[in-house]
Amino acid sequence: MSDDSTAPVSGRDDSLVLIAREGAIATLVINRPDKHNALSAPVRRAFLEAFSACSDDPDVRVIVVTGAGEKSFVAGADIAEFATRTPVDQYRAMRAPSPLEAIERSPKPVIAAINGYCLGGGLELAMACDFRIASDRARFGQPEINLGIIPGGGGTQRLPRLIGLGQAMRMILTGESIDAAKALRVGLVQEVVPGDALKSRVHEVALAIANKSPVAVAAAREATRAALQTPLAEGLRIERGLYLLAFASADKEEGVRAFLDKRPPHFTGH
Ligand code: COA
């Protein structure tokens, strides 16, 4: 997806994660196409650095995550690293700061633009994003069982929450991948578009969100995420608190005034 990008790209061409900026939208491109963008430790570090630069930048309102090249979003953790790591090395690696937690903690919405294979840690990364738009060429799977291991980046927890226990169990126990049409049917992705339309469609959706109040977007995101992590009464309490935060914002004054004045709102994030 990055290859035809006309957006200014920062980072050297050989950077493991590139940042393409188009106005308020920052696209992080995982850039290791010769290894299907597998998430090695250096890729994870580069991702964290690029992600926090975008997340901390007040001019960025929406972050998109995608993979370089035509073939893969991310084909999982780097399997070559598994061959040499001791269990203690692996424990340390799993306790290191994680791209998934960074995405979840960020106040910015994060869209996964899935341009190809989305496997193992790649699917776990995509599931940590707020929602997923996929190319019709994408494929999805948790193939860890084929290596004699299990998903270790949240796959066993997030997949059943997204697509239900039976569908998740089938994917995790067989290791078989599913195509984009099935991913759409089971709710793993929210939209599927022809491969050459992925970039423009994701931009369109990102722009729609970028034009909302960043305060309301952050509050809505946090409240909605709480739905899967808390009992209903607790979730409703969280929603009320975040509603009142948005209600107290200058952007709420602007949104209500603009509606009454019959003009488009201009939100500043205050
Ligand atoms: N980790 C490390 N290297 C990987 C990788 C991964 N997850 N996925 C692919 N690669 C490497 C291959 O080893 C190969 O390296 P080489 O050129 O040095 O031999 C290169 O990427 C190209 O992969 P290849 O398998 O030849 O491409 P393909 O088009 O035939 O198949 C996949 C693509 C994605 C279906 C296949 O590579 C695959 O199944 N990858 C592993 C997926 C997986 O099990 N992920 C979960 C890990 S826990």
| pLDDT of 1 strictly over 50 | no
Instruction: Report the pLDDT value the prediction gives residue 9, as an integer from 0 to 100.
Output: 59
| pLDDT of 14 strictly over 80 | no
Residue owning the nearest CA to atom 27 of ligand 1: 36
**Global confidence as pTM:** 0.94
Instruction: Report the pLDDT value the prediction gives residue 36, as an integer from 0 to 100.
Output: 98
Using a 6 Å cutoff on CB, does residue 38 contact ligand 1?
yes
Instruction: Report the pLDDT value the prediction gives residue 34, as an integer from 0 to 100.
Output: 97
Residue owning the nearest CA to atom 44 of ligand 1: 143
Q: Does the active-site annotation cover 124?
A: yes
How far apart CA 139 and CA 131 sit, in angstroms, is 16
Task: Give 41's Cβ-side CA count (13 Å radius).
Answer: 12
| pLDDT of 2 strictly over 70 | no
Beta strands in 110-164 (DSSP E): 110-114, 117-119, 131-135, 139-141
Q: Measure 172 CA to ligand 1 centroid, in angstroms.
A: 18
Average per-residue pLDDT for the chain: 95
Using a 6 Å cutoff on CB, does residue 35 contact ligand 1?
yes
Reported as a single tens digit per residue, the pLDDT across 35-87 is: 999 999 999 999 999 999 999 999 999 999 999 999 999 999 999 999 999 99
Confidence grade of residue 11 (pLDDT, cut at 50, 70, 90): low
Using a 6 Å cutoff on CB, does residue 124 contact ligand 1?
no
Q: Which residues contact 253 (CB under 8 A, 6 or more apart)?
A: none
Q: Measure 49 CA to ligand 1 centroid, in angstroms.
A: 25
Q: What is the mean pLDDT of residues 241-247?
A: 98
Q: Pick the catalytic residue: 49, 104, 144, 176? A: 144
Q: Does the active-site annotation cover 191?
A: no
Reported as a single tens digit per residue, the pLDDT across 229-238 is: 999 999 999 9
Confidence grade of residue 207 (pLDDT, cut at 50, 70, 90): very high
